[in-house]
Amino acid sequence: MPPAQTPSTASTASTRNTPSTLYRNYVLFMLTIVYVFNFIDRQVLVILQESIKKDLHLSDAQLGFLSGFTFAIFYAVLGVPIARLADRTNRRNTITLSLGLWSIMTAVSGTARNFIQLAAARIGVGIGEAGGSPPAHAMISDYFPPCRRSTALSIYSTGIYFGTLIGYIMGGYLNQRLGWRTAFFAVGAPGIFFSLLFYATVKEPRRGSTDTASLPLSDTASLPLSGTAALPSTGTSPLPPTETHTFREVLKLLYSKKTFIFLTIATSLLVFCIYGLLNWAPSFLGRIHGMTPAERGRALGLALGIGGAIGSFAGGALTDRFGKKDRQWYLKIPAYAILLSIGFAIGALYLKSNILSVVCFGCTAALQSMYLGPSVAVAHSLVPASMRALTSAVLFLALNFIGLGFGPWIVGMISDRLTPSLGVEALRWAMSIVLVVSLVSAMLFFRTAKTLAPSRP
């Protein structure tokens, strides 16, 4: 018989199997690049939509439907079964296949000859991208411990804004020089090759490998920060990180917690504002300020990309720092940021200067982007490690269905209704709806913060 493993030898083995800091950071970098491709392929449609509207003879409501609901319904709904599969199988492989699929469908978007064909291609992009974020969130939580998790997830979330930067600049330039169809081909193809590099160099982490014992994050939750705690209503022994659960079990656990319920509503309303405002920003600058596709691509790409990336990183870094003493700061900081963003959004919509309007859009993106890393970190703290991909999928189901699905679409429909009486000014007033919804979202973030235990021991 092999000799019994002593605590010292077990510790040595555990240390030997623990990824180095350099490799953890490399995986985070690779996952972030995947997220960059995610948003290049998602947001390039936004910078191209004025040319697409003229070529395919579309209305604002149809444009909003394409960039919002058409994509969001499949992205959000299919994210749940794909995340459940990822919680049971290899998450690295899920991300690889997803990246390859959505990259192919982005290129296919350039072949569309009418609204139906373009909608079908964007549905394909949504199906592919559904397998991106939930498995990535779960991998990050297994590579980084709770005290660094919000920062790591926020660094990953900067991919949203770097992707927007590249998509807007490339899309705007290629659209003006070569047309919108070529732009789709050019941004879709690189993701296919990167998926092969990702598969070859990224390893699947052990589930729950970075979890440590802690007191509950939420004053209404029975699960501690560790992913190995018992389910609240069972009274059983701790769950192993590799145990799998049904979708119904995960939903029952999540919606037994006030923290998750309020967090879902708050983030959904904020995402409604983000997409309702920023998805229409290129059209706004074209119609109201007369900027060319290349000009607004460069201006918005830099403003939203740099501003959003800084805000996303700052949200994670600040909440991890202040959350060590008081957990409520994980959600209070995003709430204060949302309140500040309302003033900049007013400036973006109503200042007459092109430059000031673009700067205000960038500041709005910076402040509104501070929510995502902390929100995912809080959601992951409520469940075992084996539920994390599915937890992200449930959260994303709500915030993308409500926010991404309805934000651009409702703004587009309001713009169509107001156009006969207001002309090009209709879009400005339609986008103003986000100011009221932003205020409601901030109040809900403050309300959600009250459900968190006020301080760490």
Report if residue 86 sits inside a domain.
yes
Task: Look at residue 368 and tell me if it is in a domain.
Answer: yes
**Would residue 193 count as lying in a domain?**
yes
Residue pointed to by tokens 């409601």? 440
Percent of the chain with pLDDT over 70: 87
Cα dihedral 277, 283, 288, 291 sign = positive
Q: What percent of the chain has pLDDT over 90?
A: 39
Q: Cβ–Cβ contacts within 10 Å for residue 45, how many?
A: 26
Confidence class for position 238, pLDDT limits 50, 70, 90? very low
More confident residue, 7 or 93: 93
What is the Cα–Cα distance from 181 to 168, expressed in whole angstroms?
15
Number of domains in the chain: 1
Which one, of 295, 307, 314, 315, lies nearest residue 360 by Cα? Answer: 307
Nearest alpha-carbon partner for 284 in 187, 410, 412: 412
Q: How far is CA 172 from CA 51, 82, 373, in A?
A: 10, 33, 29
Local structure of 15: helix, strand or coil? helix
What average pLDDT does range 282-309 have in this prediction?
89
Q: Share the mean pLDDT of the chain.
A: 83
104 pLDDT more than 70? yes
CA distance 303 to 297: 10
Q: Residue 114 maps to which CATH number?
A: 1.20.1250.20
Binning pLDDT at 50, 70 and 90, where does residue 454 land?
Answer: low
Beta strands in 335-418 (DSSP E): none
How far apart CA 192 and CA 401 sit, in angstroms, is 27
18 versus 35: the higher-pLDDT residue is 35
CB 298, CB 335: distance < 8 Å? no
Residue 211 pLDDT: 65
Q: Backbone dihedral region of 24: left (phi > 0), alpha (psi from -120 to 50 degrees) or beta?
A: alpha
The answer on pLDDT for 295 being more than 60 is yes
Q: Give CA–CA dist 135/444, Å, rounded.
A: 27
CA Rg value for the chain: 22
246/43: higher pLDDT: 43
Looking at residue 390, its pLDDT comes to 81
Statement: residue 336 has pLDDT above 50: yes
Rounded Cα gap, residues 109 and 107, in angstroms: 5
**Average pLDDT rounded to a whole number, residues 20-40:** 92
What pLDDT does 226 receive?
32
Looking at per-residue pLDDT, the higher value among 390 and 52 belongs to: 52
**pLDDT band at residue 108 using 50, 70 and 90 as cut-offs:** very high
**Closest among 365, 356, 320 to 146, alpha carbons compared:** 320
Q: Which residue has the tokens 């919606």?
A: 255
Residue 11: pLDDT band by 50, 70, 90 thresholds? very low
Helix 258-278 crosses helix 433-449 at what angle (to 10 degrees)?
A: 160
Q: At residue 452, what are phi and psi to the nearest 5 degrees? A: -85, 145
* 236-257: average pLDDT: 66
Pick the more confident residue, 59 or 339.
339
- pLDDT higher than threshold 50 for residue 236: no
Residue-wise pLDDT for 170-228, tens only, equals 888 898 889 889 999 999 999 999 999 999 999 988 877 666 544 344 444 433 333 33
DSSP 3-state assignment of 69? helix
pLDDT level of residue 5 (50, 70, 90 thresholds): very low
Of 411, 406, 330, 422, the C-alpha closest to 373 is: 330
Mean pLDDT over residues 80-94, rounded? 84
In a domain, 7, yes or no: no
Q: Residue 233 domain-assigned?
A: no
Average of per-residue pLDDT across 337-344 = 96
pLDDT at 274: 92
Range from 32-36, 90-94, 271-275, 291-295 carrying the lowest mean pLDDT: 291-295
437 has pLDDT over 60:
yes
The answer to whether residue 176 sits within a structural domain is yes
* Higher local confidence (pLDDT), 15 or 251: 251
Q: Over 60: is that where the pLDDT of 435 sits?
A: yes
Reported residue count of the chain is 457
pTM comes to: 0.71
Residue 298 vs residues 87, 165, 173: alpha-carbon distances, Å: 39, 8, 8
> Quick check: 18 pLDDT over 80?
no
How many beta carbons lie within 10 A of that of residue 173, not counting itself?
18
For the residues 274-287, what does the mean pLDDT come to?
89
Residue 321 in domain: yes
Q: Give the domain range for residue 175.
A: 21-203+215-227+245-449
Per the CB < 8 A criterion, the answer to whether 389 and 83 are in contact is yes
pLDDT tens-digit readout, 142-175: 888 877 888 888 889 888 889 988 988 888 889 8
How does residue 361 score in pLDDT terms, banded at 50, 70 and 90?
very high
The values of phi and psi at residue 18, to 5°, are -80, 125
Contacts of 209 (CB under 8 A, 6+ apart): 18, 142, 143, 241
What is the per-residue pLDDT across 58-74, written as a single tens digit (0 to 9) for each? 888 888 878 777 777 88
Tell me if 16 is assigned to some domain: no
> What pLDDT is stored for residue 352 in this prediction?
92
